[in-house]
Amino acid sequence: MVQTDNGKGGRSSLHGFWSSRLAFILAVTGSAVGLGNIWKFPYIAGQNGGGAFVLVYLLCVFGVGLPIMMSEVLLGRRGRRNPVASMALLGEEEGGTRSWSLIGLSGVVAGFLILSFYSVIAGWVFAYIFKSGAGDFAGADAEQVKTLVQSLEGSWLATGAWHTLFMGLTVFVVARGVERGLEVAVTLMVPALIVILVLLLGYSMTSGEFEMGVRFLFEPDFSKLSAGSVLAAMGQAFFTLSIGMGCVMAYGAYLPQETSIPATAFSVVCADTAIALLSGLVIFPIVFANGLDPTAGPELIFQALPLSFGNMPFGTFFGTLFFMLVGFAALTSAISLMEPAVAWAVESFSVTRARASVIIGLIIWVLGFLSVLSFNVLSDFTFWQGTFLDNLDYLTSNIMLPLGGLMITVFCGWVMCRNASVAELDVGAGNLYQAWRILTRFVAPLAVVLVFLNAIGLLDWLIALF
């Protein structure tokens, strides 16, 4: 399915190409759609007061995330190598320094850190496939679901075992290099996920506090919007779109020259946003109807969803199917989290793909135990943002990814010559190109800088100064 040469110009590649535009869209969609939409969006929205947060999140997705995603694909395709080497090469060609490879390197590190906790939560999803299949959700009430979550997170052995299983599966797929085959399965997964979410929406509309849920998500109350929430909304936009760490760049390196980057990025961003919003609409009516705490954090969906499945017709069947699909969505995201590191190792150290995947996977697996223990043995050991997991999540989503994104916009908008981006985006130099260019040169970098300044309290100070 993968060709080695597209014969369409552009730099010659060190590796194969996606067989079609669709294969690439599916790969990036598989990367973007995952726990970020189903698990993280509802819980972060819950912790940050809903409506106003969601509004900022949407602004960040379309105003900052979309242009950065296009920039990342553009850089990957122009460099045609792993993100570290692509950025070194382009940096040298366009800006005279190879130091831009730092973008790639920070992405490799971010991928390690993110996957280490991502795998732990994905492990819970896998545990829930079996719990649902065993009928554990049947007739559940609020107290029962809380016990259900506690019995899982309270045991480091159980959480650790599921984490091990998930990492094993990820390494297996990446090592065998069959991930391209999985993209075909995304064609089924994403629509199936949407169908079950719509089904769940039906349940939330009839049995939940639907109006309250809608109000919570879409009625902005700006008094609830702290500087920290704005940063969280921006971080979530980066996390959910898989941008700022070279993952989309790594995939862009396999993209044939003639594929339209703007159209591709736009469809991925829309699908991702739709799934996140749908997930929020499913969760909150159930949370409010059952007196659950919207600020419950990472446990939120693991409490709310069993209530829906446990009390709807054929809930055991749909619940099992749903968690299987989410598990699969998490797997396609996990694969993409490893891609920059694996591609980099293979291209730089002449190791085989299999060996690189196993070694990288092992390091991430060990690191993951910090997050496994965050819920039990080390749950009282908190610093800075909270537990180890909270800190890893905060550091990566709210700091590393936006910083990576900032550097990408600076490179694409200010360092790279205009002709290069005109040629890669291939939409002429008309309005669409201009819009991208303004967003990339001014809007996105400024937004990131302002949100950072705001978060550390310097923005107010600066405003007062003028």
Judged by the rule CB under 6 A, the positions of this chain that interact with ligand PHE are 31-32, 34-37, 114, 239-240, 242, 245, 247, 333, 336-337
Compare residues 91 and 111 and give the one whose CB is closer to ligand PHE.
Answer: 111
Tally of helices (H runs) and strands (E runs) in the chain: 23, 0
Compare residues 242 and 264 and give the one whose CB is closer to ligand PHE.
Answer: 242
Interatomic CA distance for residues 379 and 363, integer angstroms: 22
Interatomic CA distance for residues 333 and 174, integer angstroms: 12
Compare residues 114 and 286 and give the one whose CB is closer to ligand PHE.
Answer: 114
Interatomic CA distance for residues 83 and 164, integer angstroms: 27
Interatomic CA distance for residues 281 and 316, integer angstroms: 21
Compare residues 114 and 425 and give the one whose CB is closer to ligand PHE.
Answer: 114
Interatomic CA distance for residues 342 and 253, integer angstroms: 14
- For 335-377, the three-class secondary structure string (H helix, E strand, C coil) is HHHHHHHHHHHHHHHCCCHHHHHHHHHHHHHHHHHHHHHHCCC
How close are the terminal C-alpha atoms of the chain, in Å? 59
> Shortest gap between Cβ of 119 and ligand PHE (angstroms)?
11
Compare residues 229 and 332 and give the one whose CB is closer to ligand PHE.
Answer: 332
8 A C-beta contact, residue 85 and residue 15:
no
Compare residues 102 and 142 and give the one whose CB is closer to ligand PHE.
Answer: 102
8 A C-beta contact, residue 228 and residue 459:
no
Alpha-carbon separation of residue 261 from 3, 66, 419 (angstroms):
19, 11, 16
Interatomic CA distance for residues 111 and 353, integer angstroms: 17
Token code pair at residue 412:
């694409």
The residues that bridge with 427 in the sheet, in sequence order, are 429
> Shortest gap between Cβ of 434 and ligand PHE (angstroms)?
29
Q: List Cβ neighbours of 102 (8 Å cut-off, separation of 6 or more).
A: 87, 407
> Shortest gap between Cβ of 240 and ligand PHE (angstroms)?
4
CB closest to ligand PHE, residue no? 36
> Shortest gap between Cβ of 141 and ligand PHE (angstroms)?
30
Q: Is 440 helix (H, G, I), strand (E, B) or coil?
A: helix
> Shortest gap between Cβ of 464 and ligand PHE (angstroms)?
36
> Shortest gap between Cβ of 85 and ligand PHE (angstroms)?
19
Compare residues 135 and 191 and give the one whose CB is closer to ligand PHE.
Answer: 191
> Shortest gap between Cβ of 239 and ligand PHE (angstroms)?
5
Interatomic CA distance for residues 427 and 382, integer angstroms: 50
Compare residues 122 and 140 and give the one whose CB is closer to ligand PHE.
Answer: 122
> Shortest gap between Cβ of 307 and ligand PHE (angstroms)?
23
DSSP track, 99-165 = GGHHHHHHHHHHHHHHHHHHHHHHHHHHHHHHHHHTTTTTT--HHHHHHHHHHHHT-HHHHHHHHHH
> Shortest gap between Cβ of 246 and ligand PHE (angstroms)?
9
> Shortest gap between Cβ of 452 and ligand PHE (angstroms)?
19
- C-beta atoms surrounding 379 within 10 Å: 16
Compare residues 64 and 245 and give the one whose CB is closer to ligand PHE.
Answer: 245
Compare residues 140 and 326 and give the one whose CB is closer to ligand PHE.
Answer: 326
> Shortest gap between Cβ of 42 and ligand PHE (angstroms)?
12
Compare residues 32 and 360 and give the one whose CB is closer to ligand PHE.
Answer: 32
